[in-house]
Amino acid sequence: MDVSKYLVKPGAAFDPAAWPTREGDGFGGGKKAARKELREIGGKLGELQARLYAEGRRALLIVLQGMDTAGKDGTIRHVFSMVNPQGVRVTSFKKPTHLELAHDYLWRVHAHTPARGEIGIFNRSHYEDVLVVRVHDLVPPEVWGRRYEHINAFEKLLADEGTRIVKFFLHISREEQKKRLEARLQNPRKNWKFNPADLEERALWDSYMEAYRAALEQTSSAYAPWYAVPADRKWQRNLIVARVLLQTLEEMDPQYPKIDFDPGAIHVD
């Protein structure tokens, strides 16, 4: 269960074009075995989350990024289905409001970082401020250019203060995105997910890949690593994310707090 092959090594080059968007059919023992493993990991994540919550000393922040249709919502649905909703908070970052734009770009993000004992999931994140913002020239290059340093410092602050961070780039191919956008047009139950503006973003694919390359190269660190996950096949994507999270939480090894009474000596009437 080695997940290190998906890790973007801190300081190393990252080339999205050379990074796989799918594993072979035999990955995880095949689709059926992979689904079974996902269920098993789901149960373990549930137990680890209960311990993290009971311990109440540390937090886990999960960042999900990827092109439209890469599967950010689906990953949350599948990987966290067995985790107690009380201990998990999902924040979806949209186009900033006027109020948000009146502050620095990390203001709205910091407000949603997980509290001690919680798992926080960012569906999009502060990385949009070096992705969509860079691709669309929403601020000049000297402004987005210094943000990588801010982001590293911000994540170091969170890590130093007790938040474990793990970041996922859900990597799909341009061809797979075409299929998924077509499915959103063809399936009435998926129509609502289609946004004509997604086609404009799709046309900027290469600029986005360049922005992702820069972001992952400059912000994958020991305290906030990036994993680039082959995401063309949903069952592979789910299992890879689940494996990384299991490893992360096992390393954190949260413990139920020590009690300062003898439960055996207490009688409940």
Residue pair 38/244 in contact (Cβ under 8 Å)? The answer is: no
| Minimum CB distance to ligand AMP, residue 181 (Å) | 12
> What is the DSSP pairing of strand 59-66 with strand 163-171?
parallel
Among 5, 25, 95, 261, binds ligand AMP (CB under 6 A): 95
Among 44, 96, 106, 116, binds ligand AMP (CB under 6 A): 96
If one asks whether residue 93 binds ligand AMP (CB under 6 A), the answer comes out as yes
- For residue 265, what are the β-bridge partners? none
Task: Decide which of ligand AMP, Mg ion, none touches 155; Cβ closer than 5 to 8 Å per partner kind.
Answer: none
Among the residue ranges 125-133, 184-192, 204-212, 239-247, the one whose residues contact ligand AMP (CB under 6 A): 125-133
Residue with structure tokens 């798992």?
119
- Which two tokens mark 252? 């954190």
Give residue 40's Cα distance to chain centre.
20
Among 124, 150, 213, 234, binds ligand AMP (CB under 6 A): 124
Q: Which of residues 58-117 bind Mg ion (CB under 5 A)?
A: 68
Q: Which DSSP letter does residue 244 get? A: H
Q: Which residue from 203, 226, 97, 212 is spatially nearest to 155, judged by alpha carbons?
A: 226
Among 23, 37, 129, 232, binds ligand AMP (CB under 6 A): 129
Q: E-strand spans in the chain?
A: 7-8, 59-66, 88-92, 119-123, 163-171, 226-230
Name residues whose C-beta falls within 8 Å of residue 86's C-beta, 6 or more positions apart in sequence: 53
> What is the DSSP pairing of strand 88-92 with strand 119-123?
parallel
Task: Decide which of Mg ion, ligand AMP, none touches 37; Cβ closer than 5 to 8 Å per partner kind.
Answer: none
Among 132, 139, 159, 214, binds ligand AMP (CB under 6 A): 132
If one asks whether residue 128 binds ligand AMP (CB under 6 A), the answer comes out as yes
If one asks whether residue 94 binds ligand AMP (CB under 6 A), the answer comes out as yes
Task: Decide which of Mg ion, ligand AMP, none touches 133; Cβ closer than 5 to 8 Å per partner kind.
Answer: ligand AMP
Q: Which residues bind Mg ion (CB under 5 A)?
A: 68
Q: Which residues bind ligand AMP (CB under 6 A)?
A: 93-96, 124, 128-129, 132-133
